[in-house]
Chain A
Amino acid sequence: MKALAARRHHRFAPVVLLLLALLVTGGVYAAFAPTPANAETASTEDIETGQKLFQANCATCHGPNAEGSSTAPSLVGVGAAAVDFQVSTGRMPMQMNGPQAIAKPPQFDEEQTGQLAAYVASLGAGPAIPTDEQVDAELGDPSSGASLFRTNCAMCHNAVGAGGALSEGKFAPPLWDTSERNIYQAMLTGPQSMPVFNDATVTPEEKRDIIAYLDEQRDGSAGGLTLGSLGPVSEGLWAWIVGMGLLIGAAVWIGAKSS
């Protein structure tokens, strides 16, 4: 204690105190932070058919017969692909109101998602869920995909699919963790702010090329750490933090008096 008392006027004492205070605040927060509720939706277990699932989970906004309401669009004719995309990425049922529906762990398993999709598809003709062959990156041409991505997708999703900002808090999400089937479905159905790229605009083969191009990006960069693939801003940030950080550290070391 005496040693501590003697050093309390040391010029680093405020820094140490500040760090301790931050540590305590962080620790207390971690201990008391509210954990997200993960209660199961009790009703889902009892419902077997897509219609019942729909009426229990979707009808509040989309209407009892999916005819839409003032807050949500009609789902008649959107097709199975749209339902599969929205439900399997967890965007629907929507977590909360906001600029756009956020992807989250899906609320329904594959079987239930299929039942929902079948129900909506039965209401009116629409795009079907693509086959595995249609979305197989191995069969696509990444070079053609690069050209197509550059002219159709990169302005929102960034040159390599790292995502980008849209107006008023909306955004184009990063595509690296999106499944190949979901990428195809997104192009086909145009969820949220995304335009529809129907088969006349971008043919099914071309869609597969785009998937092949995105697949190439999952391996990272030939140049090393990708730094988020965000372009010059993140490069500049790292130049300052890593580069100037190390160099100034070295300068301080060299400039220090040998003692």
Chain B
Amino acid sequence: MSSNGNAPTTRAGKAADYLDQRTSVGSAVKEFARKVFPDHWSFLLGEIALYSFIILIITGVFLTMFFVPSMALVEYHGPPATMDGQLMSDAFASTLHTSFEVRGGLLMRQIHHWAALIFMAAIVTHMMRVFFTGAFRKPRELNWLVGTLLMILGLLAGFSGYSLPDDVLSGNGLRITDGVVKSIPLIGSYLSYFIFGGEFPGDDIIPRLFTVHIFLIPGLILALVALHLFFVVLHKHTQYPGGGRTDKNVVGYPLFPVYTAKAGGFFFIVFGILALMGATMAINNVWSYGPFDPSPVSAGAQPDWYMLFLEGSLRLMPGGAEFVMWGDWTVSLNVLIPAVVVPGILFTFLFVYPFLEAAVTKDKREHHVLDRPRNVPVRTGLGVAFLTAFIILALAGSNDLIATHFHMSINTITWVFRVLIFVGPWFGFWITKRICLGLQRKDRELVLHGHETGRIVRFANGEYIEVHRPLDEQERWLRVNYSAHTPLEVEPATDSRGVRRKGYAQDKRMQRLSRFFYEDRIEPVTPAELAAAHSHGEHDAIAGGEHVEITSGAAVGGGRDLVEPDAENDGPPRH
């Protein structure tokens, strides 16, 4: 619709021209519309998170219209029958009112809650994709940090929202938070009084969490989402390895019209699925739990799934680790370790990993082509170890439900998980690394010898061979185009004049770490190896040499990697 001398004639054209003459928006639109985006379903995982966040805002705005963030006690009259006439806080009463008496209120609440669960699930899945494909490497380390911060903010958003209705379950969660805060040495009790405005539960926490939940955290998330997307545009999108894809190009389709339609349509699919879930599947029926009162805790009291690892960590910790120091200081290691130290370790790993890998790799290049997870076995193994720990903790947080549903003893389950939390991640790492190395070997095998076809050919001299079909160029490129990093080489401990070098110890440590990463590795097939593979044996399938062209003429004869005999055969078989 850009004008090159001719005035636009259509109505849309005129409107666009009007806008363009006043804002010069045309060049930006042109730039974005032509921006090329690579095609893969896993690149849409982040979009799920973004769209569920938008849905969270839309439904959240609706809910704020009816929610009363106050802990003042009222006697509630209204549906359901099980709550009629009970004493409760304004917050809980307004939640019941929204659910039962506001048209569409319960649907909005349920969509909001399902969207929150999906928001976190999509973030985690997106992070897994980024981690396992190495998309956090230079230049995207900072964006990984922004993303990890977004994940933590998502946890806080979820937790603060979960606590707002002031039902028994959310109050239990707040009580655990209170305990965790109090377990922090020295400042714990002061901090708890500061947060709750006095002794738990007080009258302040709901109004405070309301501000945090609807203003502070969504604002931060919005700002960081903007930064996150800005980085995506700035760095351009990563792409999966394949023919023609390099670190210097982006292979895909322009944003307009295909991706605009796909992404726009996907928003409505996400909204539709969330609306369907909200309409048909009950979630967080607060009237089942009843208004908060500090005394009752019901069976099956658990947080939403993304906080379940903390619950599990607390459930696994033996209670005996609490002791009283001189001067009457109680040190609650039984809470401090599982609720502060364990998540601290997990989050630190996420924040530090890109920089750790860069340090042990000493790789200063920019990477825009993604890694296949098998080609970086230790990273993939560490990712699986992390997930294993997270899943074991989440399962430990559900130990009572596992006990009732699988008819097991909760004590035994807890002990099994206590062992597994140490053994499981290690085992996950080890087996994943071995699988990756095995897959790499299989890739080498495939590149060198081609696909088995299952066709057995008998020669006149009685020899049987299986025919192998060589890989096409795309298949081969995918399997050979990566670099296997080698452990760091460090300079010697002393310089040429025999003086001890500063920083040698640090280098040595890095080298040890680097060996852990890259000691075991499978090198990609080199052109020379490929040539050698095709010329070994007395019956050459393909002539060897620097320049290999295996798709062309193929010969019939002995040798393990023989090509299809009835493929277009130029010359006679060479024997």
Which A residues contact B (CB, under 8 angstroms)?
A: 5-6, 8-9, 99, 142-143, 145-147, 150-151, 154-160, 162-169, 171-172, 213, 216, 221-227, 229-240, 242-244, 246-248, 250-257
Contact = CB atoms under 8 A, between A and B. Distances in A.
Interface residues of B, number: 78
Nearest to A166: B410
Given A8-B454, A145-B82, A222 B284 contact: no
A224 B110 contact: yes
B102 interface: no
Contacts of A143: 81-86
B80 A216 contact: yes
Interface SS majority for chain B = helix
A224 B404 contact: no
Interface string B88-130: 0000000000011000001000100110011001100100000
Given A232-B304, A244-B121, A251 B452 contact: no
Given A150-B290, A232-B303, A247-B48, A9 B281 contact: no
A223 B282 contact: yes
B470 to A, nearest CB: 15
6 contacts: A9-B451, A231-B302, A232-B305, A239-B305, A251-B45, A255-B40
Given A151-B296, A231-B169, A165 B400 contact: yes
A239 B118 contact: yes
A251 B48 contact: yes
A164 B300 contact: yes
B118 A244 contact: yes
A201 to B, nearest CB: 16
Contacts of A147: 86, 290
A227 B281 contact: yes
Interface of A is mostly: helix
A168 B169 contact: no
A121 B437 CA distance: 73
Given A146-B290, A240-B121, A254 B44 contact: yes
Interface stretch (B66-74, B263-271, B324-332, B486-494): B263-271
A154 B296 contact: yes
B41 interface: yes
A167 to B, nearest CB: 6
Interface stretch (B140-148, B272-280, B424-432, B528-536): B272-280
B305 A236 contact: yes
B401 A242 contact: no
B321 interface: no
B404 A164 contact: yes
Interface string B393-437: 000011111011001111110000000000000000000000000
A225 B401 contact: no
Interface in B443-482: 451-454
B454 A251 contact: no
Contacts of B84: 143
Nearest to A240: B121
B305 A255 contact: no
Given A235-B117, A243-B118, A222 B299 contact: no
A229 B285 CA distance: 9
Nearest to A222: B106
Contacts of B304: 232, 235-236
B62 interface: no
A175 to B, nearest CB: 12
A9 B409 contact: no
A160 B283 contact: no
B407 A233 contact: no
The 8 lowest CB-CB distance pairs between A and B, nearest first, are A164-B299, A236-B305, A223-B282, A255-B41, A154-B298, A239-B117, A165-B400, A169-B409
Contacts of B399: 165
Nearest to B290: A150
Contacts of A247: 48, 118, 122, 269-270, 273
Interface string B50-87: 00000000000000000000000000000011111110
Given A231-B169, A242-B281, A252 B454 contact: no
B44 A255 contact: yes
Nearest to B407: A169
A40 to B, nearest CB: 27
A238 B281 contact: yes
B323 to A, nearest CB: 25
A16 to B, nearest CB: 16
Contacts of A167: 409-411
B185 to A, nearest CB: 30
A171 B290 contact: no
Contact of A160 (B86, B288, B305): B288
B512 interface: no
Interface in B281-336: 281-285, 288-290, 293, 295-306, 308
A22 to B, nearest CB: 20
Given A150-B296, A159-B299, A247-B270, 19 more contacts: A155-B296, A165-B404, A166-B410, A172-B299, A213-B82, A223-B106, A223-B282, A224-B281, A232-B304, A232-B305, A234-B401, A235-B113, A238-B281, A243-B117, A247-B118, A251-B42, A251-B47, A252-B41, A257-B39
